[in-house]
Structure 1
Amino acid sequence: MTALIGIDWGTTSFRAWRMGAGGEVLDTVGDGPGILAAGALPGGFGQALRDRIGDWLDGTPIITSGMITSRNGWVETPYLPLPLDAGALARSLTLHEGIHFVTGAVSDPDGPAPDVMRGEETEIIGHLAEGGEGGLFVLPGTHSKWAWAEGGRLTAFRTVMTGEVFAALRDHTILGRLIQPGPGSDDAFRRGVQAGQGDGALLARIFSARTLALMDRLAPDQIADYLSGLLIGDEVAQGARDASGPVTIIGRGDLAARYQAAFTMLGIDAQIAPPGMARRGLWEIARMGGLT
């Protein structure tokens, strides 16, 4: 019997789980339109939901997190200030059109550079609910999140735009003119990480992705991996300065592995969390909110 439907709904992704009374997964939908595509459909978000999980909709409580609660999403919810835990997120659920929306988090809202997240807080809560330790959490992606948790609460975080900058440099600058597709090169990635962990201005070091290729010291099908390593290497080197306690990486397998490799090259042991942290976090928030 279905006890809860959980949805992780991002800018370009949609994942849903039908869960039983103990939080076990009964069924999964792993693909669907992200909020940008769903919002453009004739029937909007409601139609996108029915198209993907219409067979599940029988009055079972639904809870969702991610960019679906952003200004471009189904309903914009306010950000919660830090520190926060699963209980705070449960008390702040927004009910809209029969769906419970998990809000996001804000760091230093009155400071010179406030920061925000939507969805990552739920994944961190999921890890903590599974008995995971606090410490530093790294969630790689278009906008990577570096977050700190202590005593079961999210206490601080910051955003690094590594993924988006990589895509922009690859697709819209002169660096990308020499790039050719290839099978992927671990050696080129590690070379990039070493360059990224070096000294000097990052914007100066980035240009080496072009000059090394011009000097025939980097093959055209290695440039993208080198550039990826350079950006990730710089991000990890800068972020590791504030690392204390265990380091946990939450995210897609191949990208998480790249970040783990960069940490290893710095001599830091970083563990990759098992998959399913968003689902586990949704269950925990729903449980504390009385939905299950």
Structure 2
Amino acid sequence: MQTTDGAIVGTSAFERGVRVAQTAAGRAGVLSTIFSTRTLGLTGALDGASQREYLSGLLIGHEISALQDLLQQRQQQTSLVILVGEPALCERYASALRAYGVARIQIMAQATERGLWQLALGAGLLKTV
């Protein structure tokens, strides 16, 4: 979303960061784009909160780009990505993955709790009903 003064706020700043990671400059690596976060703040294009969102998108975008490069080198494709983690962060990754063309994404809710439950059952710490 853009404010009346042209600043980008919220998820649009995150998406902007993801898109920058996909550019030619982004393909040169994270160091080629990371300082754009500060520049956008100094020029007033992004406010403080938006800078944080932009940087998050930039870093996640670079991470996904590196993964795609690695898979391409190994001549492998991404058929399904399973995300495990805090729900809001998983949603960020899912959004960025979609921007990179990954269609099959699954978020594993409560993976830690379910795993610990299974470990407790397997160790005989809990009685089954």
CA contact (8 A) 2:30 2:62 kept: yes
> For 1:259, which of 80, 89, 93 is the aligned residue?
93
Give 2:35's aligned residue: 207
Answer 1 or 2: which has greater strand percent.
1
1:1-292 equivalence runs, <5 A: 185-197=10-22, 198-241=26-69, 242=71, 244-269=78-103, 270-274=105-109, 276-292=110-126
Query: Percent identical across equivalent pairs?
Result: 38
Question: What amino acid maps onto 2:92 in structure 1?
Answer: R
Deviation string, structure 1 residues 1-37 (Cα, Å, up to 9, x no partner): xxxxxxxxxxxxxxxxxxxxxxxxxxxxxxxxxxxxx
Answer 1 or 2: which has greater helix percent.
2
Question: What amino acid maps onto 1:266 in structure 2?
Answer: Y
Query: How far, CA to CA, are the matches of 2:113 and 2:43 in structure 1?
Result: 48
RMSD: 1.9
Question: What amino acid maps onto 1:267 in structure 2?
Answer: G
CA shift at 1:199, angstroms? Answer: 1.4
Unaligned 5+ segments in structure 1 are 1-183
Q: 1:279 to 1:221 in 2, by over 3 A?
A: closer
Give 1:17's aligned residue: none
Question: What amino acid maps onto 1:190 in structure 2?
Answer: E
* Alignment: residue pair count: 108
Query: How far, CA to CA, are the matches of 1:208 and 1:290 in structure 2?
Result: 54
Deviating above 6 A after TM superposition, structure 1's stretches of 4 or more consecutive aligned residues are none
**Greater Rg over alpha carbons, structure:** 1
